[in-house]
Amino acid sequence: MGVDFSALRTLINRYCAGEENWVDSRTVYIGHKEPPPGADAFIQQRFPDNRVVSSKYTFWNFIPKNMFEQFRRVANFYFLIIFLVQLIIDTPTSPVTSGLPLFFVIIVTAIKQGYEDWLRHKADKAVNQCPVSVIQRGKKIKKESFRITVGDVVFVKEDETFACDLILLSSSRDDGTCFVTTASLDGESSHKTYYAVQDTKAFRTEEEVDSIHATIECEQPQPDLYKFVGRINIYMDNEAVARPLGSENVLLRGATLKNTEFIYAVAIYTGMETKMALNYQSKSQKRSAVEKSMNSYLVVYLCILISKALINTVLKYIWQADPNKDEPWYNERTEAQRQRHILIRAFTDFLAFMVLFNYIIPVSMYVTVEMQKFLGSYFIMWDDDMYDEELGEGAVVNTSDLNEELGQVEYVFTDKTGTLTENNMEFIECCVDGHVYVPDAICNGQVLSGAAAMDMIDTSPGPGGREREELFFRALCLCHTVQVKEEETVDGIKHGIHQGKSASFYISSSPDEVALVEGMKKLGFTYLRLKDGQMEILNREDEIERFELLEVLSFDSVRRRMSVIVRAASGDIFLFCKGADSSILPRVISGKVDEVKARVEHNAVEGLRTLCVAYRPLSPEQHQEVCRLLSGAKLALQDRDKRLSEAYELVEKDLILLGATAVEDRLQEQAADTIESLHKAGMKVWVLTGDKMETAAATCYASRLFRRNTQILELTTKRVEEQNLHDVLFDLSRTVLRHHGSMTRDNCSSLSNDCTDYGLIIDGATLSAVMRPPQEDLNSGSYKEIFLEICRNCSAVLCCRMAPLQKAQIVKMIKASKEHPITLAIGDGANDVSMILEAHVGIGIMGKEGRQAVRNSDYAIPKFKHLKKMLLVHGHYYYIRISELVQYFFYKNVCFIFPQFLYQFFCGFSQQPLYDTAYLTLYNISFTSLPILVYSLMEQHINMDILKKDPSLYKDVAKNSLLRWPTFIYWTVLGVYNAIVMFFGTYFLFDNTTFTSNGQRMTTNTQMMFGNWTFGTLVFTVLVFTVTFKLVLDTHYWTWINHFVIWGSLVFFVLFSLLWGGIIWPFLNYQRMYYVFMQMLSSGPAWLSIILLITASLLPDVVKKVIWRALWPTITERIQQVNAGSFHVLAFLHVSGHRFSACVRCSCLLRNTRVDIYSPKQAECFIDEEKESNVTPPRPRRSLETAPEQRRLVL
C-alpha cells in the first residue's frame, strides 16, 4: 500500500521557504483543474459564492427579528404587558385602550423598516446579477456575478469594475501591467499599476489562458487592503515553478480597470470574503440620544406608576380593615371573591390599579414621535438649498429615526477625496533659482477659458540661468510615473499629443504628478510617451528629445520622495529627484537653497502642495555601482523593503537643487466655510483618509482644518521608528497638557492669529500599534487613553493611510470614550461605509465613486457644503421640536392621571375612574395629540438665516441640554402642580352650593345631576384647555396650520362632549354621560371656575419664564426678544459685561463690538453673510442724553 507524503512535503516546503508563520491558508485551483500526478494532493475546499448582502432582514426572519428589536424598547414591552393584563383580569378599562396604539406603532414601524430594507435588497440584487465574462473550456461565457466561484478565470474589459478579488494573470499590454482606480476602496481616484504573473503574462487568448495549469496558495481572507501573501505554482511538464505573489498582483473588488483594453484574472476571494466586504461594518440598530432619554424617563414614570399602584393597594386594604367599610352595598363581593386568598386578591387589585394609572406612560407619544420623524424628514428632502443642479438631485433621508441626532453632533469624521475635495489638481507655479513662473490655470488637462500666453513673475533668468531652467522643466517631464492615454477621436484614427493635443491626456497613480506634467506642457515642455524604454518629450522648439529610462526609485511615505535615472541622447546619465522639502533639502549640496526655501514656505502658508526638485549627474562608474546596489536589494528574499530603502539612501545623495513647484488640490465649493462653521458650532472635525500624509495635510490647510498658527503634532511611522511609541505618546501628551489651560479654538475668535492650538497627524500603521490590545510584558495598557487625551486637546485631527475598518475603529473608539459624544461620519465611497455604519449618524455624499456610501448611509446629500444647513438648521430645529414633544407628552399625562390618583382617596380606593371611557381613550389620540404634532413639525424658535450666520447657537442645544434631568423634573413638577390645582380647585368649587345650585336651592333629584361624572368632566375640561394653552405659550412660529389645529382641537372637544352626552346612542347599554356636559355648562360659576383654574395653572410657568428671561437669558432668548419687534432697528444688549447686538432687518449678529447710540440714518445693516466677523460699524458721536447702558433700543 502506497503512502501519500504530499501533506508532509507541503509543510516542509513551507518551512524551508520561510513560511513557518502560516497558520491558515487556502489552495485555489485555477480553472478548477486538479494538479498533475505527483504534485500536491487535490483538496477540494468549499468557498462562499460571490453574493454580496448589505440588507438586514430576509423573508423568513423579518417578523421575528423585527419584533425582537421593537420589543427591546422599554415602552413597547411595557404596553404589551399591560395589554396582556387587561386581557387576563377584570380591569377598569378596556384592552382596546392599550392594544390599538401599541399595534399601530408596531405595524407602522415594521412597514417603514421593511421598506427601507427592501430597497437594500433591490440594490444588492442589481449588483449580484451584474453579468461577468468567465473563461470555461477555452470559451468566453456570461455569468451572473453571484455565480462566480473561487478558481474561475475572469475576463474584464476597460472601465469595468472587478466583481471579486482577483490575481492578475495577463493583460492586453505587452509588459503585463494594468492600470486600476481604487476610488471606492481607499478614496484615491488616481491610476495605480498592477502586475501580472511573469510566467502567464504572455497568454492573451481564451485558449491560451484556459491551458494554464497552476494552483495558488494564499492566506485566508483578511481586511487589510494593502497586504497580501501568497504564491503560485505553475506546472510545466509536471514540474512546478513557484512564483511569489504580493499586493501588486491583487485586483480588489470594487476597483475599476483603466487605460488597459482587457485583462484575464483568477478569482481568489468571493462574496463576503472579499477585502471590501470584510471592511464593511455589520449593521446595527441606531438609537438617538433623545430616544435613550425617553427610555430613561419611561423607567422613572414606570417607578412612579408602580408606587401609585402599590400605595393605593395598601391603602385600600387599610380602608377595608374596618368591617363597616369592607363591602358597601353598591360593591358587594361574590362568594368566589370571598374565598380567594388575600395575597391573590391584593395582587389582582395591584394589577387593576396599574391598568387604571397606566395612562401616565404615554403610548401615543411613540406614535406621535414616529409620525413626527417620518413627516419631518420630508423637510430635508424638500429643501431647495440642498438641491444640486449639476447632479439633478437633492438630499435623501434613508433613516428618519435619527433626525434629532443631527442637532447633537460633537465629532465629525470626514473623508477627504471626493468629500472635502473634488480631486482636481491645479498647477499654480514653479520656482527655478528664485524666479517664479505662473502659467495659465490648468485643471486635469483643461485650459481655462481666456487663457493667454505664459505669465512671468520676477525677472527672466539670464543666459546662464536658461540652461538650468530647461533642466528643471526636463526633470519634471521625466521624474514621474505618468502614462499617456490616447483616444480615437476622428474616424477611429489615434492622434498623439504632438499631432492633436486635445486627443490625449495623462493618467497617473498620483493626481499631482498629472498636474505637474500639464504645467510643464504650458511652460513649453511636453511629455509624449514611454515607448520601448524611451521617454519622449517635446521641447520649446518642437523637437522631440529621447531619454532612456534606466531605473525608477518609487515613492514611499517614509522617504517622501521619488527618483528616476535616465540617459540622455548625448550619453550623459542623470538622477532626477523630487519630493517634500524636508526630504530633499538635507540632501542638497549646492543650489539657491535660501531663495527656493523661502518660496516653499510662502506657498505652504497658502495651503499649496509643494515639492522640491533636484538632480545629480552620474558617471558610468557611479551608475554601475547604483545598478549593483539596486539589483541586490530587489533580488533579496528576506527584508527586501529594508534593503531597498538602504540602497535608495545611498543613491539619493549629493543633490543639486533646481527649484520647487506648487500645486493646489481644489476643494469642493464652500468646503472651508463649512468646516469653519462646524468649528464655531463647537464640533471637532477629524479627517480620515487613505491618502498620503503630505496630500492630506495640504488639504487640511486649504480647508481651514489646520490654520497658520496650528502647531502640528506627528504620530507617524517615521517618528515611531526614531523613538519608541511609548516615548512619542508621552512627549505629545506633555506638549498638549502644558497648554491645557490656555485658549483653544472653541473659545478664541475665528479671526485671531494669536490663539495657539494643536493639530494631530497619525497614520494607519501607528494607529494599529496604539489600538493593539495591551500585553502583560509591555506597558501598553494606557496607550489608547493617552492617545484619546491628546486628541481631546487638539482642535483638529488628521488620520492618513487609513484602511476602511480602521476608520470605523476610530469612530468606535471616540464613541466609547468617557464623554460618550455624538459622532457623525460623512464620505462618498465604499471605503467609507464602515465608519458611516459605525457613527451615530452616517451621511453619504452623492459623488463620483458609486452609490455604496449613499445606500448604506442614514442621510445622503449632493455636496459637502450642504452639511452646514443640515446640522445648523435642520438638526437644530429637529432637536428643539422633539425635545418639546417628549417633555410635553410626559407633562400632559401627569396632568391627566394624577387627578385620578387623588380621586381614589375620595372613592374608597374602589378603582373608580374619574373620567369617562371616551375621554380616557380620546385624550391622547384626538384632543391633545394633533397640536403638539403640528408644533413638532412647524416650530422655528429662531429664524433659519440667523442659525446659518451664527453657528455658535448650535451650542445652546448641545449635549442633550433640553432633555436633562433638571428640565425633566421641572416639567414633571409643573404637571403635578397643575393636576393639584385642577382637582382640588374643582373639589372646593364643586362643594360650594352656589356653584351647584346656580344661585338657587336645588331638589335632591336635581342635586343628583352634579355627581361624580360632572366632577370628572369639569376636571377634564380644565385639563384639556390648560395643556393646550401651555403649548400656545411655548409656540414662537405661528402659521395658519397651528391656528387651525390648536383652536380646532378645542372646538372638537366641546362638540364631541355635546354630542356624546346630548344624544342617546343605541349601541350603548348605559349612557352615564347623558346631559352631563350641557348641564355643567349651563352654570355660570362653572364657566368662571374653568377660567380661574386655567389661569392659576399656567401662571407659575409664565412668571418663571419672565423672571428667567429678565435675569438669566440665553443667547437664543435674546435673539427672540430682538426679533419680537416689528420695526427695523438695531438692538443692543449688554449682558454680563459683554455687548451683544442683532440687526432685525437682516438677522445678523455682532459680538464683542463696541457700539453706541445710532441715528436713524446710521441704523443700517453693516454685516453680510460672508464677512459678519470682519466689519465693525462706525462709532457714532456719543449723546449726553443717552439712555442707560444696561439695555437700549434705539430707533
Task: Please give the positions annotated as active site.
Answer: 415
> How far is the CA of 309 from the CAs of 302, 555, 571, 904, in angstroms?
10, 75, 100, 11
Using only C-alpha atoms, the chain has a radius of gyration, in whole angstroms, of: 38
What does the alpha-carbon distance between residue 1060 and residue 1072 come to, in Å, rounded to a whole number? 10
Helices (H), 479-509: none
418's torsion region: left (phi>0), alpha (psi -120 to 50) or beta?
Answer: left
Query: Which residue bears the cell 456575478?
Result: 145
Amino acid letter at 539?
A: N
Query: Which residue bears the cell 539619493?
Result: 652
Q: At what angle do helices 1084-1111 and 965-990 cross, to 10 degrees?
A: 160
> C-alpha cell of 766?
501607528
Q: Let me know: does 873 contact 892? Beta carbons within 8 Å.
A: no
> How far is the CA of 372 from the CAs of 99, 112, 334, 929, 1034, in angstroms?
21, 13, 49, 11, 18
- Residue 868: CB partners within 8 Å, gap ≥ 6? 670, 673, 674, 677, 678, 948
What does the alpha-carbon distance between residue 11 and residue 643 come to, in Å, rounded to a whole number? 28
Angle subtended at Cα 120 by Cα 119 and Cα 124, rounded to the nearest 5 degrees: 120
What does the alpha-carbon distance between residue 253 and residue 127 come to, in Å, rounded to a whole number? 12
What does the alpha-carbon distance between residue 1159 and residue 1195 come to, in Å, rounded to a whole number? 7
164's torsion region: left (phi>0), alpha (psi -120 to 50) or beta?
Answer: beta
Residue 157, φ and ψ in degrees, nearest 5: -100, 165
682's torsion region: left (phi>0), alpha (psi -120 to 50) or beta?
Answer: left
Q: Are strands 504-507 and 483-486 parallel, antiparallel or unpaired?
A: antiparallel
Q: Let me know: does 948 contact 670? Beta carbons within 8 Å.
A: no
What does the alpha-carbon distance between residue 1069 and residue 1063 come to, in Å, rounded to a whole number? 14
- Residue 420: CB partners within 8 Å, gap ≥ 6? 414, 667, 668, 671, 675, 687, 699, 703, 864
The 8-class DSSP code of residue 906 comes to G
Closest CA to 359 of 895, 1093, 845, 816: 895
What does the alpha-carbon distance between residue 1093 and residue 1099 come to, in Å, rounded to a whole number? 10
> How far is the CA of 1020 from the CAs of 854, 892, 1057, 1105, in angstroms?
49, 12, 11, 26
> C-alpha cell of 456?
512671468
Q: How many CA atoms lie within 13 A of 429 on its CB side?
A: 19
Q: Is 697 exposed, middle or buried (0-12, 13-18, 19+ CB in 10 A)?
A: buried
What does the alpha-carbon distance between residue 769 and residue 809 come to, in Å, rounded to a whole number? 13
Closest CA to 814 of 419, 414, 404, 413: 413
3 state DSSP class of 428: strand
- Residue 690: CB partners within 8 Å, gap ≥ 6? 185, 186, 187, 188, 225, 800, 801, 802, 803, 804, 831
What does the alpha-carbon distance between residue 781 and residue 691 come to, in Å, rounded to a whole number? 29
